[in-house]
Structure 1
């Protein structure tokens, strides 16, 4: 009987590692890794993976959706975090409308993800909603 082999790997040879210490730094980092041509056209979700010192291990492109939503699968997010041996994550998505107000689904997924992260001791440090000109930080607003 044949059984598929599973491989788990992570490699980071980038000597210019970035440490994030606040939401402004997170916004600066993520904007360098976002396709600005579709920022106001298509909603996307990305996950920033961090080590214990809040140094960015990498950015995972979770999903691309439509004008008003995208898929957020908690199992995939946590699977990626575990594969990368991440100690913390930051969720980031854009609102093509430019409005930086979290929707009820934004609030609900943040709550569910935080609960799931706590079970695995992977910390959800923040969830940013971004636009071309600014961001909303769940952590800064005390809603995380």
Structure 2
């Protein structure tokens, strides 16, 4: 005997998560320094707008700090971009990563973190601890001035 329940105002959408790597796990780059992370971010950045629009990207890492993938989190204006912790951690959890590294650019070419940058980074580190997901670094980069690493500066 089969029972079917019909409820016209009750629909559920199915969510699917997929992962289709384009290379072997042994070929993934490994992050051992902030310079490694910066190099990967800088290669993937949109250089046509790096001095015009603030953007934020995230590297997703496995337990061996090998890169699972890179994800653009947000794109804003000249003075800022919104980084939503819910989006950061939803992407991280769906990827089953063990750690993340964030990066955003400063179109002004200043490497000095703002108070908002520091506050957000500390909030993300604390939230990550609750989820057993490490926020390993937050990097500020510019087109010509190099980068600033929160981890290297002891802010994390």
CA distance in 1 between counterparts of 2:87 and 2:123 reads: 14
Secondary structure (helix, strand or coil) at the match of 1:53 reads: coil
CA distance in 2 between counterparts of 1:21 and 1:7 reads: 32
1:73 equivalent in alignment to 2:73: no
- 5 Å-filtered alignment, 1:1-144, equals 1-15=10-24, 16-133=27-144, 134-144=146-156
CA distance in 2 between counterparts of 1:50 and 1:41 reads: 29
CA distance in 1 between counterparts of 2:32 and 2:143 reads: 21
Which one has the largest radius of gyration? 2
Q: CA deviation at 1:137?
A: 0.1
- TM normalised by structure 1 equals 0.97
Q: CA deviation at 1:2?
A: 2.1
Secondary structure (helix, strand or coil) at the match of 1:61 reads: strand
Q: How many residues align?
A: 144
Please report the RMSD computed on the Cα atoms of aligned residues, expressed in angstroms. Answer: 0.9
CA distance in 1 between counterparts of 2:68 and 2:59 reads: 8
Q: CA deviation at 1:10?
A: 2.0
- TM normalised by structure 2 equals 0.90
Unaligned runs of 5+ in 2: 1-9
Unaligned runs of 5+ in 1: none
Say if 1:44 and 1:63, in contact at 8 Å, map to a contact too. Answer: yes
Deviation string for 1:9-53 (max 9, x for gaps)?
222132331001001111111111001111111000001100000
Say if 1:10 and 1:83, in contact at 8 Å, map to a contact too. Answer: no
CA distance in 1 between counterparts of 2:81 and 2:19 reads: 26
CA distance in 2 between counterparts of 1:2 and 1:143 reads: 46
Say if 1:49 and 1:58, in contact at 8 Å, map to a contact too. Answer: yes
